[in-house]
Every structure is written in C-alpha cells, then in structure tokens.
Amino acid sequence: MITLSRETAEIWTPDGCPVEEALARTTHLGVAAHQDDLEIMAVDGILRTFQRQDTWFTGVVVSDGAGSPRDGLYRDHTDEGMREVRRLEQKKAALVGGYSAVVLLDHPSAAVKSAADAAPETDLRALLESTKPRVVYTHNLADKHDTHVAVALRTIAAIRGLPPEIRPERLYGGEVWRDLDWLLDEDKVTFDLSAHESLQAALLSVFDSQISGGKRYDLATAGRRRAHAPLLQPARGGGVAAGRPGGGHPRPLVRTQEGRPHNGHPPRRRSGSPLLRDGLGSERSRHCG
C-alpha cells in the first residue's frame, strides 16, 4: 500500500477501483501544483486515455489550494474552506475526464517551494514507482509561478531517483497561464487537441471557484487552443503548445535505461498522427475489475 507523507493526502478513484490497481493501470501521469492546472497543461493525456481501457490518466495535485484567490460566491471562504472546495472540484474533473485516479498530496505551497522539505519529492517518487507511467506531464521550468516551477523541479528529481528501467519514456513541461511562443519550434511539442472539445470545456467548467468573479480562464484557454491551431505549425484542428522542462536548454533532464534523453523532444511528427500513439497500450491492458 502506498504511503503518502501528509495525513490529509487522498487518492480517489472515480470508478471505485482499488487504489493500488488504479495506480498500477496508469499510463499517463500529470503532476500539477494546483487544482485545475492538469486540465490545462495535461489535457493531452486526459484526451488520449478518455474512454479507453488500455490507457489511463492519473492526476496528481501537489499543493493544498488553501491560498487560492476567491471572489463571488466564495469571497468569504476561509483558507480551510477553499481547500475543501478545490479538492471537490478536482474530484469532479476526475469524474468528468474518466481519470484512473486523482491524488491530492495536500502540501502547503511553502513546503512545495522549500528545497529543504523532502516530503513532496518523496511522495512523487512513491507515486512514480506505483504508476510506472510511460508519459509524465508537469509544469515547465520557465513558468511564471514559483509553485509551478517547484513542482517541476520535484518531479524531475523524483524521476531521476527512479531506477532507469522504470523511468517514463516522455516528460513534458507544459504551460498553464502563458504561451510558449518564445521557444524555438524544434524545442516545442504541439499536441493535437481537436478531439472532444466539449469535454475540454466541461473539464474546466467544474472549477467554479476560480472562474467565479469574472476570471473566465475557461474561455481564455479554449480561445488560446483555437488560436494555436491556425497560427502554429504543424498543429491541425486544435492545439496547445507545451515545451520540455527547461525549454531551450540542451542538457537532457532525464535519461532512460538506454541513456537516451527523453526530455520532451518528440520524434519527427508525421502529418496528423498522434505523437504518442506508437506502442501505447500494447502491453498494458489493465482494466480494474
């Protein structure tokens, strides 16, 4: 049984699958700082695994959400109240998106940002060992938000601590609030997000506490994806840009058993073919129950 460092940490499985099985069937893992980050930066993994039995997405939220901004209906909520609201919203998104599991590590933001606090990295390593994902999505190292960068650093450190044979094949550093226009095209991965547009809208709409008060980032995210489609190559239909962690930095961040860098550089993309389709699901057919 996996042990997490915070007593208030929680692993929830929308379909009622036992936690160990839900973690073990995971093929795509998203590691985010806050509730709702996953549904923006890791939506590729959510879409790729949606309604499939051979690939599963698990979302990890590292911080507790207590310091979240609040307005409208939520204006008078205490930090503890906001923490509860945001946990519930993240579970709603997991249900809508058919995640294998959602993991709420519940670390205070200060602990995530403290290099002296080993707990977040220890938790992430335990989750990586339990899930052995092929693909990991996290924040990018040039992110504007300190907690996002801290989560990316903890995730990279946790992956580096894994035996090479169970390290993920791909690690993507995605953007949440901004664009990665400043990255060279060859340092950037674009995802085709043309499928399930209404699902993408539904995933963001459950985070009412963050949208309430007029900050319509659900519309902004959809608009940005739409804008990328015609303005970026080679995305078609829809698209969102995601760069490797430390985008533009030539040093590989994670090495696999073969010593080959997997830092988010994609294979040369064939027109219209998903980046990660090759081999996915061929050896993992793990449906709970």
143 lies in the binding site for Zn ion (CB under 5 A): no
Tokens at 157, concatenated: 């450190």
Instruction: Find the part of the chain contacting Zn ion (CB under 5 A) among 31-39, 84-92, 114-122, 205-213.
Output: 31-39
Total residues at interface with Zn ion (CB under 5 A)? 3
Tokens, residue 236 = 């078609």
Residues making up the chain, counted from first to last: 289
In this chain, which stretch among 25-33, 118-126, 179-187, 217-225 interacts with Zn ion, using CB under 5 A?
Answer: 25-33
Q: Which is nearer to Zn ion, 25 or 91 (CB)?
A: 91
Choices 37-45, 54-62, 94-102, 151-159 (CB under 5 A): range interacting with Zn ion: 37-45
Q: How far apart are the first and last CA of the chain?
A: 18
Verify binding: residue 89, Zn ion, rule CB under 5 A.
Answer: no
DSSP 96: H
| Binder among 25, 28, 34, 188 for Zn ion (CB under 5 A) | 34
Nearest-angstrom CA–CA distance, 190 and 240: 6
Give 55 or 109: the residue with its C-beta nearer to Zn ion.
109
β-pair partners for 103:
11, 60
Q: Closer CB to Zn ion, residue 69 or residue 230?
A: 69
Query: Coil, strand, or helix at residue 82?
Result: helix
Chain residue whose CB lies nearest Zn ion: 34
Residue 248 DSSP SS3? coil
| Least distance from Zn ion to the Cβ atom of residue 90, Å | 12
Nearer to Zn ion, 58 or 147 (CB): 147
Nearest approach in angstroms of CB 145 to Zn ion is 6
User: Cα angle at 262 between 235 and 224, to 5 degrees?
Assistant: 30
| 146, 183 Cβ separation under 8 angstroms | no
Nearer to Zn ion, 33 or 136 (CB): 33
C-beta of residue 241 within 8 angstroms of C-beta of residue 180 = yes
Binds Zn ion (CB under 5 A): choice among 17, 29, 37, 276? 37
Quickly tell me which residue has 């009412």 as its tokens.
Answer: 208
**Ranges assigned E (strand) in 39-154:** 57-63, 101-107, 135-139
CA–CA separation, 213 and 172 (whole Å)? 32
β-pair partners for 174: 139, 242
Minimum distance from residue 32 beta carbon to Zn ion (Å): 7
| Choice between 17 and 31, CB closer to Zn ion | 31
Least spacing, CB of residue 63 vs Zn ion, in Å? 8
Which range, of 34-42, 125-133, 183-191, 240-248, touches Zn ion by CB under 5 A?
34-42
Q: Which stretch binds Zn ion (CB under 5 A): 30-38, 49-57, 61-69, 189-197?
A: 30-38
Would you say 37 or 121 has its CB closer to Zn ion?
37
Where in 87-140 does DSSP place strands (E)? 101-107, 135-139
By the rule CB under 5 A, 33 interacts with Zn ion? yes
In DSSP terms, 170 is beta-bridged to 135
Q: Which residues bind Zn ion (CB under 5 A)?
A: 33-34, 37
